Chain A
Amino acid sequence: MKTEQLVELLARQAGPAPRHAVERRVAMAASLGAAGSIAGAIGALGLNTSLTDMGVALAVKLAYVAALMLSAAWFVDRVARPGTPWRRALWAVATVVLAMALLAATVWSRADETQRLDLLLGRSWASCPWRVAALSVPALAAVVWALRGLAPTRPRWAGFAAGLFAGSLGALGYALYCPELSPLFVLVWYTAGVLLPAALGALLGPLLLRW
């Protein structure tokens, strides 16, 4: 087949480029991942019945998780496109973590010395990251599926981005169960839980995101 012939074949009846191809795929993966995470949290851990009494603490927690989700979704969108700058999206994720760190540091510095360890560890520090990571598994599968139909040219970074996004979706479900109120706890252990699938994604990216 001559290249000229291929060009003719591709151009003929091609129509306009698909609109929002990346956004639509990422949104679909996000819906599947969020559904998996929420169903998993309620099914395996149970809904925390005192959520409504948590007030500001819950709002801060959810705001952090939502900000992570949005920035990581942007990161995934960027790495799905060849030749498209993506570092700013990575910085956006880092900025979200930094903002939460500032808040956590403020709360921590104002707290009584005797309470500080409690603010960090709460009652569930040992299980929190693993549960966040476990709840992110369906999301990770969905986001990797989404990226496999797109064009990531940096598979390791793409896997990392997929893992961050999946981790934040896992954290969303976990927040429905989590009894903790301290922003320091959320900063350290939620972020650790998000970084676990991110590390897994970075590891698997070169294997799974080939095209």
Chain B
Amino acid sequence: MRNDFEDQLRPIWLDAHAGDEAAYRRALALIADRLRGYFARRMGGLSPDVEDLVQETLLALHLQRGTYDTGVPVTAWVHGIARHKLVDLWRRRGRSEGLFESFDELADDLHPAVHEEPGVQRDLDQLLGSLTAAQRQAIVDTKLEGLSVADAARRAGVSESAIKVNVHRGLKRLAGLIRGLP
């Protein structure tokens, strides 16, 4: 990640940091493209693993965005998380290499299309299905239907902070689901 990317990303990220939703969307999309290149270079080309890592890293960025210190380059912070996720994957693979190899070979032979369309084999509904009802509801209301936190709280009959906690925990769970998939 080069300096010109920092120059492009930083103002958008700072807007997002302050609560600008459109800026956040743009920043995450820009970061996602970079991450794909970063992981693809290190994983030997585009694969579903790459897309899983991209998604896992985006979730981690979002869940941990409170740890960003504005005195530090955004790219350094993003890179710190991306590297952590890559090393984590390698370490987990290294421990049960034999298992993963045979599993991957089998999957390749049986489902050659998986590599062609990275990531699309799991859809969002399926992922949301493994959350608790309250987490799912909080995410669907605020994140898919776009209700405000206050409206979502009113609809569910709980406090606003309960909605926020459920969204946060639900996203954490999603990250765990993506991480857990081979």
Contacts and interface: CB of A to CB of B under 8 A. Distances in A.
A8 interface: yes
The majority secondary structure among interface residues of chain A is: loop
B124 A1 contact: yes
Interface string B72-87: 1100111111011000
B143 A81 contact: no
Interface string A88-112: 0000000000000000000000000
A81 B73 CA distance: 12
A11 B24 contact: yes
Interface residues of B, number: 51
A9 B139 contact: yes
Nearest to A4: B29
B69 A84 contact: yes
A126 interface: no
The majority secondary structure among interface residues of chain B is: helix
A3 B32 contact: yes
A21 B70 CA distance: 13
B9 interface: no
B66 A21 contact: yes
Given A13-B149, A81-B68, A210 B51 contact: no
Contact of B127 (A1, A11, A16): A1
Given A21-B67, A83-B81, A1 B142 contact: no
Interface in B44-73: 51, 54-55, 58-60, 62, 64-69, 72-73
A13 B72 contact: no
Contacts of A10: 24, 28, 58-59, 62, 143, 171
Nearest to A13: B142
B144 interface: yes
Contacts of A13: 21, 142-143, 146-149
A11 B58 contact: no
A84 B24 CA distance: 21
Interface of A: 1-22, 80-85, 150-151, 153, 210-211
19 contacts: A1-B122, A2-B120, A4-B29, A6-B58, A7-B58, A9-B124, A11-B21, A11-B24, A12-B144, A13-B142, A13-B143, A14-B16, A15-B19, A17-B65, A81-B72, A84-B69, A84-B76, A150-B67, A151-B84
Interface of B: 16-19, 21-22, 24-25, 28-29, 32, 36, 51, 54-55, 58-60, 62, 64-69, 72-73, 76-81, 83-84, 88, 119-120, 122-124, 127, 139, 142-144, 146-149, 171
